Chain A
Amino acid sequence: MRFKFLLPVILSVIIAIPSISQGKSKIRWNKLVEDDLLKFLTSNNMEYALKAVEELGKRKSPSSLDELLGQLLLGHPPELSLTIINAIGSKGNVKSFKTLSYFASHRNHSIRSAALTALSLIQTGKDQLLKTKIDNILIRALRDFDSNVRNTAAFLIGKRKIASAEKDLLVLFGAGSIAAVDALGYIGGITTARTFAIALDNKKVSKERIISSILTMLKRNDFGPEPVRVQLVKILGSLNLPGAQDALIKYHGTGPEKFMRSRKLAFKILSK
């Protein structure tokens, strides 16, 4: 073979091409210093910018948070701003409160929603004042004209169990918000129970969601008193729906210990 020396060369090129092309995107983000991450963040390449932001979000250093906050304030396209906000949110640092509050009023509804979520992740610890401020921002967001923002706010309110939002959530429930139904399960009291009971009679309302929310309410230790629980159990028992039966089973099985009467009633209904 005259050209036998060429064969290994050709073979090595064939093998090397894929690995060379892969090597271009094989940046080891976790190995880069923050300055380099910043360069990628401000580069022309949006894919790299997003990756850089994600990496900065994972870093625990205070400077990574400062960089992210600084970049957010310097202004970037919405896609990148969203990622920055999520990265800031994942840190849960109180320093980000002011900046995130500003972006909770952003003209882009996705950014507003992301900012609300990031705010809710701030670890306020014993700082009740800060906690109240965040709660108030979330409650105010229930009045947003964008439904996505309202739904996000409702979800976060339910998660944080902000009881003072019950009245506003009931209004949104009346306007047909499903997120409000879910949230009310976590914070609703007697008024909510009454509203749900009336709504179950309304054929236009999706009953499954309300039933799920009622179950959430019943499973809470702070929901009561017992007679209200009894009424709700009776209502669930009167509904000829699999979801209602399921709720009764779960309530009987895992409901709060101190509300035995209503739990026993649930069992009795199921036994019939």
Chain B
Amino acid sequence: MKKILFISVVLSVVSCKPLPPFHQDRTANTKAQFKAVKQLQNTGDARVMNSSGKAMIVIQSTMPKSAVAVNVETGAVLWSVPTPDANSRYVIAGPIVAYNDAKKGVVALDINSGKVKWTRKLTAKRVFLGMSGDRSGKLAVISVYKQRGSSLNQISELLVLNSSGKEVYKVETQGRMGWPLVSSRFIAVPYRSQYLVVMDKSKPVEIARIHVKNGEIRFVEETRNGVFFGDKSGIYSLKSILANGPQTPRFRIKSEIRHLEFNFARDHYSSIMKDYSAYDMRLLHGDMVSGLKTAEFSKDTIVFNMFRYLFGFDVKDGNASVKWAVSIDGDNLAGLQSYGEILFYITKAGVLGAVNMVNGEKLWSRKLEVENIRGASFDMSGFIVPAGSPVSPAPLLDSLTEIANDPDTRFPLAKRFAIDALAVVGGAGVSRLLSMITNPKSSKMLRDKAEHDLIARPDKKGIPLYINLISTPFDFIKGTRPLAIGVMADVLGKLKSVKAVDPLLRLMVSPHITTAELLKVTEALLAIGDKRIVRPFREFLLAYRADPSFAQDIHPLQKMAEGLFKMGGSAERQVLLFLSEDQRTLPRLKVYIERMLNKTRTEKK
């Protein structure tokens, strides 16, 4: 009996041992966990990550692929080291710059000289996913193994190394980990998209697990204002969650502008984003802060980067409205990073610059002695932009129009976004829409969008402008002609503008408008419904009823017949009867009128 009792006690003790980190049965969001993390939180560190204490940037140049460290204050190249097999970003962590080498594993370079300090191969069959470091040089590396190639059976490994490359600990688990954040006092790991697992830095102990109900956790970052996490469409502040609990709402924005991509940060589960890529140029930037209830952006400002274009937004109560737009001239961007209100960028040609995120001013730029830049890791916290002559952005509508009309054909998405922004910002800016339609330099996309917007939201105040456009005479000597006839006819017809009847009638009888334009003009006149059109319609119909040039496109004549039928009197009925009976009338017109007349007869019966 005592033996049985003893064995039972031993078994129960054994079975009560804590679950390993990342175990699926571990609970989340407990008060004890939150309390533990609160104690580990610091107030945010505004220092640079590298141990030299100076602002620097580590650039990946191509041809050949190399890591180049540059002192930002002087612009001098500190060192340049070939990294031909690098397949990750460069991570600046205290005394080292680390990256993943496809052949060697994790490689650490000395921050001051660039010499290789150590290398560490990953566990066999593991594929590198991502890595972060802290100011002491501690690295947290995530690698994955997809059993049978499926991400459903993925095994993830968290490997923590110190600055000398020695393993601190290693944890393996079923399920997807994203690359982590190494804060000063804990490691935060996105896990299974729904959790943020907080790990001890020295031993494999799970301190806390935060589970969010809304959205996912696909990134975690630390700024001088604290730790923030979330997915592309919403952000959580760790501070707010710890203070208010897991029901704390996340910060989200919405905008009337279509195609505004909500990517608050890189996706830490993405194998593409572990390395420098074009995705780096499609992110939202801003100074995240912890508000009373939720995460926010300082000065209610975010900047949307789309390739070499930057769009500044005001965000109030979650509604984003664009306030400025600039393009970085002449070159593609290779990397961007924001610190406070300043957004630093570097171009592929090696120009390092800064933009004020609040007002879009280009504050400063410097050409570095590096070119062919593929990507860059910035470590510029606290860097004070040299005083200079800031360049203010052009008025918003002008800059959006310029972006939409950029002859560079590589960025159709950015142009589309600019056009969508114009549609919202333009508002009652009819003259702007009209200038987009009539400017020969406007791209087809911009013109089509402007036409669509003008027709979808016709503005009564613009009637004099519309009429003015179509009143320009056809003049070979002066080289003038009415512009955007079809669009103007549509708009004036929609607005039922009686003032437009005379200019539209003049257009109708002009020999130089196309059949398509003639149809639009006829439809507009019908929509307006002024009786003054009856006689001109009658005369036109008679003059062209036997003209073979309308045989293929009979619609304008059919519409005129319809107009006479609806609005005309007995004289017009006589004319229609004549047209339906005379042998010289174009067959399709004849049939159409016959049907119209027959329909009336059957209705009367």
B584 within 8 A of A: yes
Tell me whether A106 and B548 are in contact in the complex, defined as CB-CB below 8 angstroms, given that A143-B474, A144-B476 are known contacts: no
Contact at B478–A143, with CB atoms within 8 Å? Answer: yes
**Nearest opposing residue in chain A for B542, CB measure:** A75
**Nearest opposing residue in chain B for A106, CB measure:** B511
Stretch at the interface among A107-115, A185-193, A205-213: A107-115
Contact at A142–B547, with CB atoms within 8 Å? Answer: no
Complex Cα gap A112–B476 (Å): 16
Contact at A105–B477, with CB atoms within 8 Å? Answer: no
A76 within 8 A of B: yes
**Nearest opposing residue in chain A for B473, CB measure:** A143
Q: Which of B475, B477, B511, B541 contacts A107 (CB 8 A)?
A: B511
Tell me whether A143 and B539 are in contact in the complex, defined as CB-CB below 8 angstroms, given that A44-B583, A105-B509, A107-B544 are known contacts: no
Contact with B along A135-150 (1 / 0, CB 8 A): 0000000111110001
B520 within 8 A of A: no
Complex Cα gap A143–B511 (Å): 12
Complex Cα gap A183–B3 (Å): 130
A74 within 8 A of B: yes
Q: Which residues of A contact B511 (CB under 8 A)?
A: 105-109, 112, 144, 146
Contact at B477–A168, with CB atoms within 8 Å? Answer: yes
**Nearest opposing residue in chain B for A77, CB measure:** B546
Contact at B509–A171, with CB atoms within 8 Å? Answer: no
Majority SS at the chain B contact face: loop
Shortest distance in angstroms between B515's beta carbon and chain A's nearest beta carbon? 9
Contact at A73–B543, with CB atoms within 8 Å? Answer: yes
Q: Which residues of A contact B543 (CB under 8 A)?
A: 73, 75, 102-103, 106
**Nearest opposing residue in chain A for B547, CB measure:** A78
Contact at A76–B546, with CB atoms within 8 Å? Answer: yes
Q: Which of B474, B539, B546, B548 contacts A73 (CB 8 A)?
A: B539
Complex Cα gap A107–B507 (Å): 12
Q: Which residues of B contact A112 (CB under 8 A)?
A: 511
Contact at B545–A75, with CB atoms within 8 Å? Answer: yes
Contact with B along A42-63 (1 / 0, CB 8 A): 1010000000000000000000
Contact with B along A149-191 (1 / 0, CB 8 A): 0100000000000000000100110000000000000000000
Complex Cα gap A112–B548 (Å): 16
Complex Cα gap A107–B512 (Å): 7
Shortest distance in angstroms between B242's beta carbon and chain A's nearest beta carbon? 75
Complex Cα gap A76–B578 (Å): 13
Q: Which of A42, A75, A102, A143 contacts B477 (CB 8 A)?
A: A143
B602 within 8 A of A: no
Q: Which residues of B contact A74 (CB under 8 A)?
A: 542, 578
Contact with A along B205-234 (1 / 0, CB 8 A): 000000000000000000000000000000
Complex Cα gap A172–B479 (Å): 12
Contact at B583–A73, with CB atoms within 8 Å? Answer: no
Complex Cα gap A144–B478 (Å): 11
Complex Cα gap A87–B390 (Å): 77
Q: Which residues of A contact B512 (CB under 8 A)?
A: 145
**Nearest opposing residue in chain B for A43, CB measure:** B583
Contact at B544–A142, with CB atoms within 8 Å? Answer: no
Majority SS at the chain A contact face: loop
**Nearest opposing residue in chain B for A72, CB measure:** B543
**Nearest opposing residue in chain B for A104, CB measure:** B511
Shortest distance in angstroms between A51's beta carbon and chain B's nearest beta carbon? 17
Complex Cα gap A78–B544 (Å): 9
Contact at B477–A77, with CB atoms within 8 Å? Answer: no
Q: Which residues of B contact A146 (CB under 8 A)?
A: 511
Q: Which residues of A contact B600 (CB under 8 A)?
A: none
Complex Cα gap A42–B543 (Å): 15
Contact at B476–A145, with CB atoms within 8 Å? Answer: yes
Shortest distance in angstroms between A23's beta carbon and chain B's nearest beta carbon? 26
Q: Which residues of A contact B510 (CB under 8 A)?
A: 105
Shortest distance in angstroms between A20's beta carbon and chain B's nearest beta carbon? 29
Contact at A142–B584, with CB atoms within 8 Å? Answer: no
**Nearest opposing residue in chain A for B506, CB measure:** A105
Complex Cα gap A143–B543 (Å): 23
Complex Cα gap A42–B549 (Å): 20
Shortest distance in angstroms between B485's beta carbon and chain A's nearest beta carbon? 14
Contact with A along B541-572 (1 / 0, CB 8 A): 11111111100000000000000000000000
Contact with B along A68-108 (1 / 0, CB 8 A): 00000111111000000000000000000000001101111
Contact at B539–A102, with CB atoms within 8 Å? Answer: yes
Tell me whether A77 and B478 are in contact in the complex, defined as CB-CB below 8 angstroms, given that A105-B509, A105-B511, A109-B511 are known contacts: no
Q: Which residues of A contact B546 (CB under 8 A)?
A: 75-77
Shortest distance in angstroms between A68's beta carbon and chain B's nearest beta carbon? 15
Q: Which of A77, A109, A143, A150 contacts B547 (CB 8 A)?
A: A77
Q: Which residues of B contact A77 (CB under 8 A)?
A: 546-548, 584
Shortest distance in angstroms between A154's beta carbon and chain B's nearest beta carbon? 12
Q: Which residues of A contact B473 (CB under 8 A)?
A: 143
Q: Which residues of B contact A75 (CB under 8 A)?
A: 541-547, 584
Contact at A142–B539, with CB atoms within 8 Å? Answer: no
Complex Cα gap A102–B544 (Å): 12
Complex Cα gap A77–B549 (Å): 10
Complex Cα gap A112–B509 (Å): 12
Shortest distance in angstroms between B467's beta carbon and chain A's nearest beta carbon? 20
**Nearest opposing residue in chain B for A174, CB measure:** B477
**Nearest opposing residue in chain B for A107, CB measure:** B511
**Nearest opposing residue in chain A for B548, CB measure:** A77
Q: Which residues of A contact B547 (CB under 8 A)?
A: 75, 77-78, 107-108
Q: Which residues of B contact A171 (CB under 8 A)?
A: 477
Complex Cα gap A44–B509 (Å): 29
Tell me whether A172 and B542 are in contact in the complex, defined as CB-CB below 8 angstroms, given that A105-B511, A108-B549 are known contacts: no
Complex Cα gap A172–B478 (Å): 11
**Nearest opposing residue in chain A for B512, CB measure:** A145
Q: Which of A44, A73, A150 contacts B542 (CB 8 A)?
A: A73
Contact at A150–B549, with CB atoms within 8 Å? Answer: no
**Nearest opposing residue in chain B for A49, CB measure:** B584
Complex Cα gap A108–B549 (Å): 9
Shortest distance in angstroms between B537's beta carbon and chain A's nearest beta carbon? 13
Q: Which residues of A contact B475 (CB under 8 A)?
A: 143
Contact at B549–A107, with CB atoms within 8 Å? Answer: yes
Scan residues 482-521 of chain B and give those whose CB is less than 8 A from a CB of chain A: 509-512
Q: Which residues of A contact B584 (CB under 8 A)?
A: 42, 75-77
Shortest distance in angstroms between B53's beta carbon and chain A's nearest beta carbon? 73
Q: Which residues of A contact B477 (CB under 8 A)?
A: 142-143, 168, 171-172
**Nearest opposing residue in chain B for A73, CB measure:** B542
Complex Cα gap A42–B578 (Å): 13
Q: Which residues of B contact A150 (CB under 8 A)?
A: 476
Shortest distance in angstroms between A70's beta carbon and chain B's nearest beta carbon? 11
Q: Which residues of B contact A73 (CB under 8 A)?
A: 539, 542-543
Q: Which residues of A contact B583 (CB under 8 A)?
A: 44
Complex Cα gap A143–B478 (Å): 8
- Pairs A–B under 8 Å by Cβ, sample size 23: A73-B542, A75-B543, A75-B544, A75-B584, A77-B548, A77-B584, A78-B548, A102-B509, A102-B539, A102-B543, A105-B509, A107-B544, A107-B547, A107-B549, A108-B549, A109-B511, A142-B476, A143-B475, A143-B476, A143-B478, A145-B474, A150-B476, A172-B477
* Leading 3 A-B pairs by shortest Cβ distance: A75-B542, A75-B545, A143-B475
| A73-B542, A73-B543, A77-B546 given; 4 more Cβ-contact pairs under 8 Å | A107-B511, A109-B511, A143-B474, A145-B474
